[in-house]
Amino acid sequence: MSRLILPPPLSLSGIVRYFHIEHADGGALRMPAMPFPYIGALLAGSTHAERGEERMDSPRSFAVGMLSRPVRLHIEPGTVFVSAPLRIGQLQTLFGISSHELTDRIWPLDALIGREEEDKLFDSLRLRDGPSQWMEAMSAWMRAQLARREARCGLDRWQLPAASLFLDSQTLAKQSGLSLRQFERRFLARYGQPLRDMRRMARFLQAMGGMIQSPATSLADLALACGYFDQAHLSRDFKLLSGFTPRDFARGMHGSSSPELGLLRYDENEKRLVLASVDADLREMLAGEAADVASMQDAV
């Protein structure tokens, strides 16, 4: 397997987390639940995702919504792909589509932008040579897509500050100048999931990042730091959203080197880029949640 994880150009840093370019050995991989949508293109080979009996084949270029549950990804040996994981909520900015319409789905990109535009993107990638040129081609297409949308109808940049996500819905609706029902619809359209599920996902992301960084971290300490009520709470959510118990995940990442976790096994430079791309204010939000949980435990 040959992989490159590259930072986006400054002009796209508010939209794109990083670029992921890979020449894969093939096999079955586990993708945990993720709030980050992404766009991608297969330059060679093929992939498909499975959840239970459902199979989703990847077209040559595609958009993937947030994943509310883990999936298995099957990759043919020799597959080459370039993808751009997006920041939370930016699928709507890029395409003007309600994010929840793509939740747990792989959509052909031409269904969102038309065949002519999809041809332009795919041809620009196919005619380039190597990762840096592929990243430049996809970046140029994304900037043009944003410019077209802004010229046509303006860009909807509504997004809650992450530090406010643990306020109650009524308060958030009032702060946004919306009725509760309007707020719930707008939140779902922007983030792809309801507020309660977004909170659960945020805690899970923090816990998974902590385990990737520091395998020896106490699960009890990690649960408290991430806003879980206790270790059992962390374990239940972690199993639901990753498909692994926390201990099996830690062993697979740092001990037995489970091939299913290959997409999450980064070198130190990749870790810094991937984990730092989870917004800093998301970490601050969870720190506040952890303080609330600690207060509740002290009260008990």
CATH of the domain at 98: 2.60.120.10
pLDDT at 106 over 80: yes
Q: What is the pLDDT of residue 43?
A: 95
| pLDDT band at residue 82 under the 50/70/90 scheme | very high
- More reliable by pLDDT, 252 or 140: 140
Dist CA 234 CA 60 (whole Å): 37
- More reliable by pLDDT, 52 or 137: 137
DSSP category for residue 4: E
Tokens of 97: 């589509």
User: Rg of the chain over CA atoms, in angstroms?
Assistant: 19
Helices (H) and strands (E) in the chain, counts: 12, 10
Q: Which residue among 153, 180, 202 closes a domain?
A: 153
Residues 6+ apart with CB under 8 A from 146: 15, 93, 94, 155
Comparing 2-16, 17-31, 132-146, 203-217, which segment has the lowest mean pLDDT?
Answer: 203-217
Q: What is the pLDDT of residue 296?
A: 42
> Which is it for the CA torsion 126, 127, 129, 133, positive or negative?
negative
Tokens of 84: 């751009």
206 shares its domain with 268: yes
148 shares its domain with 220: no
Length of the chain: 300
pLDDT at 202 over 70: yes
Q: What is the pLDDT of residue 241?
A: 97
What mean pLDDT is predicted for residues 230-258?
89
Contact in structure between 49 and 33 (CB atoms under 8 Å): no
pLDDT at 191 over 50: yes
63 shares its domain with 184: no
What mean pLDDT is predicted for residues 204-215?
87
64 shares its domain with 136: yes
Task: Residue 59: give the domain boundaries.
Answer: 2-153
pLDDT at 226 over 80: yes
pLDDT at 30 over 60: yes
133 shares its domain with 194: no
- More reliable by pLDDT, 84 or 88: 84
**What is the DSSP secondary-structure string of 186-254?**
HHHHHHSS-HHHHHHHHHHHHHHHHHHH-TT--HHHHHHHTT-SSHHHHHHHHHHHHSS-HHHHHHHHH
Q: Looking at residue 275, which CATH number applies to its domain?
A: 1.10.10.60
| pLDDT band at residue 293 under the 50/70/90 scheme | very low
135 shares its domain with 205: no
What mean pLDDT is predicted for residues 219-234?
92
Tokens of 186: 């707008």
Contact in structure between 166 and 289 (CB atoms under 8 Å): yes
Q: Which residue among 121, 153, 185 closes a domain?
A: 153
139 shares its domain with 264: no
Share of the chain above pLDDT 70, in %: 91
13 shares its domain with 146: yes
For residue 87, the number of C-alpha atoms closer than 13 Å in the C-beta half-sphere is 21
Dist CA 195 CA 172 (whole Å): 10
142 shares its domain with 6: yes
pLDDT by residue (tens digit) across 252-275?
A: 887 766 788 888 888 888 888 888
Share of the chain above pLDDT 90, in %: 59
191 shares its domain with 149: no
Dist CA 244 CA 252 (whole Å): 9
Q: What is the pLDDT of residue 165?
A: 75
Query: Tell me, what amino acid is at 129?
Result: D
What mean pLDDT is predicted for residues 117-128?
93
Number of domains in the chain: 2
115 shares its domain with 181: no
Q: Which residue among 107, 127, 153 closes a domain?
A: 153
Q: Which of 260, 256, 282 is nearest to 191 (CA)?
A: 282
Dist CA 61 CA 83 (whole Å): 9
Dist CA 88 CA 21 (whole Å): 20
Residue with tokens 């992989």: 3
pLDDT at 124 over 70: yes
Summary mean pLDDT of the chain: 87
Q: What is the pLDDT of residue 155?
A: 72
187 shares its domain with 139: no
